[in-house]
Amino acid sequence: MSDQSPYQRVMSELDALHAEDPRRVEVEGESLPLELWHAGRMSAWLTRVVEAPDELTRIAVRAQHLQRWQVPRSEYPEGRVGYLTWRRDQGKRAGETTATLMEAAGYPAEQAEQAARMIRKQGLGRDAGAQAVEDCACLVFLVNYFADFSRQVERDHLVRIVQKTWGKMSPRARELALTLPMSDEARAVVEEALAG
């Protein structure tokens, strides 16, 4: 690994941790660790959301769901407060782990902390890196999870979720979201959310 750059080393180590996810997803006949697949989707969106993302942003985007399976949502209370607390704690854990990997690979502590802030989405709307993490997360949700999620949630609540998601996205991410293939049902929910 000594011939790897600090960036390559961190990305390899992140993916090794992602690959430990016991949950699996079938992709084109291949069984992959869910978190590794999710990280790949995040990175793929980044290339469309940001023209030339820097290393720290690429690391933060790749690490956004880091080891999320270790603290399941079910360990927190039901409802919005429980969800937001779980999500905040997950961001904190992922940020700390990523910062530790970055410093071990040779990144200065300030850069490691900057990536951790992006993962925690601190400065959303003001910090380009944090916004990129949020944009990619929103697009991955809309493409890969929205259809299943919409079958589990009452329509009015779903409309509010889409409105909140839309409000957190940059103009570029919104532009990309409007080009996504959607079922008629999902498109109707999105149209209602945006009209409201």
- Kindly state the average pLDDT of the residues 10-33: 96
Among candidates 47, 26, 24, which has minimal Cα distance to 35? Answer: 24
Token readout for 84 is 């937001």
| Degrees to nearest 5, angle at CA 99 with 98 and 101 | 65
| CA-based torsion, 176, 182, 189, 192: positive or negative | positive
Q: What's the confidence (pLDDT) of residue 182?
A: 81
- Kindly state the average pLDDT of the residues 90-114: 98
Tens-digit pLDDT profile for residues 124-178? 889 999 999 999 999 999 888 887 877 888 889 889 989 999 999 999 999 999 8
Spell out where the chain has E strands. Answer: 24-27, 30-33
Entry pTM: 0.92
Q: What's the confidence (pLDDT) of residue 2?
A: 61
Task: Set out the domains of the chain in order of their start, with CATH numbers.
Answer: 6-195 (1.10.3210)
pLDDT band at 187 (very low <50, low <70, confident <90, very high): confident
Supply the DSSP symbol for 127: -
Q: What's the confidence (pLDDT) of residue 163?
A: 93
pLDDT at 114 over 70: yes
Q: What's the confidence (pLDDT) of residue 183?
A: 80
pLDDT at 121 over 70: yes
pLDDT band at 1 (very low <50, low <70, confident <90, very high): very low
Q: What is the DSSP string of 79-97?
A: HHHHHHHHHHHHHHHHHHH
Among candidates 173, 186, 179, 178, which has minimal Cα distance to 145? Answer: 186
Tens-digit pLDDT profile for residues 25-52? 999 999 999 999 999 999 999 999 999 9
pLDDT at 101 over 90: yes
Amino acid at 164: K
pLDDT at 191 over 90: no
pLDDT at 6 over 60: yes
